[in-house]
Amino acid sequence: MNKELKILVDWLKANKLSLNESKTELLIFHSKKKALPSIDIRLNNFPLEPKKSVEYLGVIIDDSLSWNKQIDTLCKKLSRTNGILYKVRQFLSQDTLISLYYSLFFSYINYGSLVWSFTSQNNLHKISKLQKKCLRIITFSPFLEHTTPLLFNLKILKFEDAITFQVIKIIYQYYKGELPLEVTKLFQLNKSVSLRNSRYCNHLFIPSIKSSLYGKSSLRYKGPVTWNKINKILNCKLQNVSFMQLKKQLKDYFFKKYELN
């Protein structure tokens, strides 16, 4: 590692660039069950100490990819937003409150969600509870009010369904060839894996997983599973429709589900 860092520093100097050693952070991904060995990594003789977590572009990445710190930080922001909405709801119309929901609440749970949403169900449940509380605040509903009818009336997606929407969007971009090469490599069609020609040859191949903890939570696995499931439910080839039609079909499916519940 030190050799590679020296090559990097030399390249930067040759191109009249510099790297601030004091602002460079080291994050080593590892299992929670395994302790890190003692390491000595230096940048320009400046020792880099491994961090438990770092913040990158507003998303907190921890060394075990549990996303616990990201979720805790996010929940604090969402709780603060709920407090703001509770204080101002008496003075604003419901349309204005919904606009505030999208600008102050949904913007938080949507940003970077395709990365940190592959966390534990317990973490996702925390955000789901805060969204339900937000909906009750907006609609002046009792504390234990069932929120599915509220979602249908307000035409707001449930947090879990908003995540599903993001996953479907990524796979749609894969079919359209709009993803970066490294992300594209995560997915394969059935016909590229099997020589057998079937009606499912253009479906996404679901890879085998070694870890139920990380494997099932990865985009590589969850993407194909979600895409194939929604395609089967809607009984159509989503990759052949326009993006606007895709959005409409998904939202119609989700809201119909809320209405039936």
Q: Which residue has the tokens 């999208």?
A: 102
**How many residues does the structure list for the chain?**
261
Global pTM value: 0.85
Q: What CA–CA distances, in Å, run from 9 to 5, 24, 27, 49, 181?
A: 6, 12, 19, 18, 27
Q: Tens-digit pLDDT profile for the chain (261 aa)?
A: 778 888 887 888 888 887 787 788 888 887 777 777 777 888 777 888 888 889 988 999 998 888 999 999 999 999 999 999 999 999 999 999 999 999 999 999 999 998 899 888 899 999 999 999 999 999 999 988 999 999 999 999 999 999 999 999 999 999 899 999 988 988 888 877 765 656 666 678 888 877 666 677 788 888 888 988 898 888 778 888 899 999 999 999 999 988 887
